Amino acid sequence: MEAGVLQSMRVLGFTPYEARAYHTLVKYGEMTARELSSLSGIPYSKT
């Protein structure tokens, strides 16, 4: 994800994991928590 997008989302109150999850879901659409974890790099326990 571009640093500018992440920074903008942080200003809006998103945590880094939330921003990465949101970006991944917008980019790829509906998916399971396991798929989200794999594609976004977020630990599965945090999804």
Rounded to whole angstroms, the Cα distance separating 21 from 30 reads: 11
Per-residue pLDDT at 1 exceeds 70: no
Q: What is the pLDDT of residue 20?
A: 92
Q: What are the tens digits of pLDDT across the range 4-45?
A: 888 899 999 999 999 999 999 999 999 999 999 999 999 999
* CA 20 – CA 14 distance, rounded (Å): 9
**What predicted TM-score, i.e. pTM, was given to this entire model?**
0.83
